[in-house]
Structure formats: C-alpha cells, structure tokens
Amino acid sequence: MQERPSREFATGIVWFRRDLRSFDHAALYHALKSCQQVHCVFVFDKDILDHLPRADRRVEFIQASVVELDAALRALQPTAGLITLHAVAAEAIPALAKKLHAQAVFTNHDDEPQALARDAIVRGALAHAGVALRTFKDQVIFERKELLTQQGRPYGVFTPYKNAWLKKLDAFYLKPYPMEKYAASLAPCSAPQPVPSLQALGFETTNLASLKLPTGASGGQQLLDEFFARIQHYHATRDFPGVKGPSYLGVHLRFGTVSIRQLAAMAYPLHLQGVEGASVWLSELVWRDFYVQILANFPHVAEGAFKPEYDNIGWEQGKPAKALFEAWCQGQTGYPLVDAAMAQINQTGYMHNRLRMVVASFLVKDLGLDWRWGEAYFAEHLNDFDLASNNGGWQWASSSGCDAQPYFRIFNPTSQSEKFDAEGKFIRRYLPQLAKLPNAAIHAPWTAKPMELQAAGVTLGGNYPQPIVAHDAARTRTLLRYAVVKKPNALPEA
C-alpha cells in the first residue's frame, strides 16, 4: 500500500462563507493539501441572520446552495459531507476546532468591515487555543495591494487600474485549483446531519422559485452556459432592461457558487480575439475587483464619501424628505422608468444595472436625498447585495466616490427611458396600469393628451402618480447643493 505523503496538520477545518462550491476553491484546496483529514463547515451566522427580515430571498438562496454543496462534497468523497451550524460564527468556529482537535482553520478572504471584525475575534480565539487561521484570496482575481500605482499607492481611478489589471493577468491567475486529486483527505462525517431547513432557521419561503433563479453551483453553471451563448452581443444589449442582455450571475458571484477565475478565463481569450461583448463584460469583472480593493484600502467608504468634501453636502431632511424617500422606495415617483425599476427590485430582488444608475441618480440628484439612504435600501433588497459593489455604485452615482461621474452629470429619467426602453416593454411589464399608453406617452404620462390617458385607463393622481418633482427645477437645485464641492473653472454641461 502506498504511503500517504506527510502533511503539515493532522486535522483541519474549511470554513465556507461566500464561496459555496466544491470546485476551484482556494481554502479547500490548501486545506486538502496541508491536512491529513479535512472537515468542512458552514455556519448560518446568527450575527447576520438575526437582523434580516424573516422572508429573505438571499437566505433561501444560501440554504438551497448549502444543500447542494453538502451533496457535492459527498460526491467527492462518499463518507464526507458538510457540518452545518446555526450559531454565532465567531463563537462556533473556535468551539468546533476544539471539538474536532483541529490544528488549523482554512477560509477565504472577506474584506467587508463586519467580516474583518469577526475574523479578528476568531483568529484571537484560535490562537489562544494554539490553532492556526489560514486565509486565502478567492473571490477576486486581484485584491488588496496586489495592484499599486507607480507611487506604490492603491488605485483610485478605474482606467489605469484596469490597464494594470490586464497587464498583470496571465494563465497563473486564471488557473483553477485542482480539488479532485486531493479529495481523499476529506474527513468522514461521524454523525451526518441534514442541512437545516429554511423554517428551522426561522425564515419563510419567498417567491424565489417562481422567479426561476437557479441556486447552487449547478444554477451558476446553467446561467453561465446560457450567457456564454450570447456574450458576443453583451455590449449591444446590456443597457436595455427589456432585453435579455446581462449574465444574471451577480447573486452567484456574491455567494461564490461560481468561480471568478472560471468567468475571467472564459471571457479573456475572447477579449484577446477582439470580441467586443466579451471585452465589455470582462471590464465589468474588473470593476468588481476595483471596488473590492477600494473597500479594502479605503475602509472609510463604508460610512462616508470616498472624497471627504462630499460629506459637506446638505441633503434634504425631515418629514418632506422622508415622504420623498418613501415614494421612491414604493415606485411612486411619477417617472415610469424609475417606478418600474423599483417595482422590479421590490418584486424580485434584482435590478438591471442601467436602472441602478438611473434610480440612484434620481434619488440623489432629483430628490436631493443622501445616497446612503438608497445604499441601505439596496442592501436590504438586492439578492446580489455586495457591500463593495453597492457602495461603489452609489458613490459613483452621487459623484462622491472614486472615479465617479461629475457632480453636474444628472441623468434625465425621461430621456433615459426613451433611449433604453423606447417601446416601453420594461415599463409595461412592471407598471401594467400604464400598459395601454402609446409609446410616445409612456415615458412621461403627464405629457399625454387627456384622450390618450382616458383611452389607456390612466388617471394621474389616481392609479398612477403625478411626478413628485420637476426634473429641470431639481437639476438647478442639485447644482446649487453641490456648490460646496465645486472646483474652480468647472462648468456645468448642458
């Protein structure tokens, strides 16, 4: 019988978090190589779950994906499986290491402030017990300080960051971790327990199934296969919410049911061949890395503006501001594209990327409300909520972030609607009360003739609201509001 090679540790634990797959997984790979036996664990962390609404699509997505992960580990090694706990992770991981007599815990990086604080507690508790905590890059191609300017500083502007990203990229960074040949190190589950049901976790079933959003690694692969068949058209279709243009992989990237290396390795060769759709989509993956390293290197963005002077802006406050915000949240602004987009997020937990920019610009620059209000709303409602990307997107829209749009660039919600939903297909889907309006009127119903409104069954102020703000007047107020950060010689564009 062939002697097994010596390993650094007798027993190790892999702590799964936002990486719910059994393939191309950095922490799992390093654990299997370094330990004679490896236990796998996922913690339904009460510190996170206890603050969520009881009906949360993300929890349902995670629970289903964890069930699939457990099965995938058993497929690698029939006696193996996933230990699942419903506890406070910062307490449960050190306790599990003690129970299993583990010498090391392996996990992948998470640079969100709350995650870093949790990991510091875990690291301290493990160190006190003589247990190592090994962490690895897994959710991005480049992270933290891997890419720096010539002055040795983190990038704050996207284009030079992207150039450096593409220059450094080679086969090494796209190579998947080979898991299968080390699978024999997966430890047997002595007392296998089924993954807790959604109800056992204290949550309710949502409309996730009816949305036909596939879960787990198999769902991620299904969406990737579908997108790969149309990636060459991505650049031409991605801005139109009524068209099947995006990859819809955001939630799978968020919870790691797909591998970022797999996605980049798919797009990069096509990019080199000049396939424009692949180049534009690859650029979106670079934006994701960019925002992750912004959060890691400039953690103050989680609380305030990347550019501190933008914290001096005087946002609307009091009851009128709260009423405007509530109208925005409920899709009752009187601007159909904005309202349809808010209906989409409220009904599905998803919002098309073009519309995220439109509704963010509307909240900040039409309504004069603090971008953090919108950021928090998205954080609660988006299936694919990721702090780095969500924060980066909102700060971009409010002009307070790194490489953001100029403060005087203010999206006109009506012209955006006419340009990107010309036939009103998206609006009609989410605002059926406007469905019978002609194309010319559906983008701005207040401009429709009385006979058109009557024929379409639309009553402004009745079954559809009047606009809560006049865009042109709001634009003027915004330029005045942003005067506190206005640079000399910066002239507003028409």
Q: What is the pLDDT of residues 177-225, one digit of tens each?
A: 999 999 999 999 876 789 999 999 999 999 999 999 999 999 999 999 9
Q: Is the dihedral of CA 398, 59, 222, 423 positive or negative?
A: negative
Entry pTM: 0.95
Tokens describing residue 50: 């206890």
The topology (CATH level 3) of 308-485 is DNA Cyclobutane Dipyrimidine Photolyase, subunit A; domain 3 (1.10.579)
pLDDT of the residue at 5: 55
Retrieve residue 390's tokens: 């969500």
**pLDDT for res 487:** 57
Please give the positions annotated as active site: 284, 287, 315, 353, 371, 394
Would you state the torsion angle of the CA atoms of residues 290, 291, 296, 297, taken in this order, to the nearest 10 degrees? 70
Q: Is 15 helix (H, G, I), strand (E, B) or coil?
A: strand
Q: Are 277 and 234 in contact (CB under 8 A)?
A: yes
Q: What separation in angstroms does the CA of 301 have from each of 291, 479, 487?
A: 10, 23, 21
Instruction: Please tell me the predicted confidence (pLDDT) of residue 408.
Output: 85
Using CA atoms, how far residue 491 sits from 122, 406, 407, 408, 494, in Å, is: 52, 11, 11, 8, 9
CA 220 to chain centre: 14
Q: Which pair of structure tokens corresponds to residue 147?
A: 């890419």
What is the DSSP-derived secondary structure letter of residue 152? S
Residue 186, beta-bridge partner list: 38
CATH of the domain spanning 139-175+217-297, picked from 1.20.1090.10, 1.10.10.10, 1.25.40.80, 3.40.50.720: 1.25.40.80
Burial letters 305-318, b for 16+ CB under 10 A, else e:
bbbeebeebeeeee
Residue with tokens 């207040």: 446
Reported residue count of the chain is: 494
At 326 the pLDDT is 98
Residues of the chain with CATH 1.25.40.80: 139-175+217-297
What are the DSSP calls for 206-256, one per residue? -STTTTT---HHHHHHHHHHHHHTTGGGHHHHTT-TTS--S---HHHHHTT
CA–CA gap between residue 282 and residue 268 (Å, rounded): 7
**CB-count burial class (<10 Å; 0-12, 13-18, 19+) for 140:** buried
Alpha helices in 25-88 (DSSP H): 26-34, 46-49, 57-76
* Contact residues for 415 (Cβ-Cβ < 8 A; gap 6+): none
Helices 318-329 and 336-348, interaxial angle, to 10°?
70
CATH 1.10.579.10 domain residues, the chain: 308-485
Domain 9-138 belongs to what topology? Rossmann fold (3.40.50)
Distances (CA, A) of 370 to 304, 315, 409: 11, 6, 17
In the chain, CATH 3.40.50.620 sits at 9-138
Which residues in the chain land under pLDDT 70?
1-5, 191, 486-494
Instruction: State the distance between the two ends of the chain, measured CA to CA, in whole angstroms.
Output: 79
- CA gap 142, 175 in Å, rounded: 13
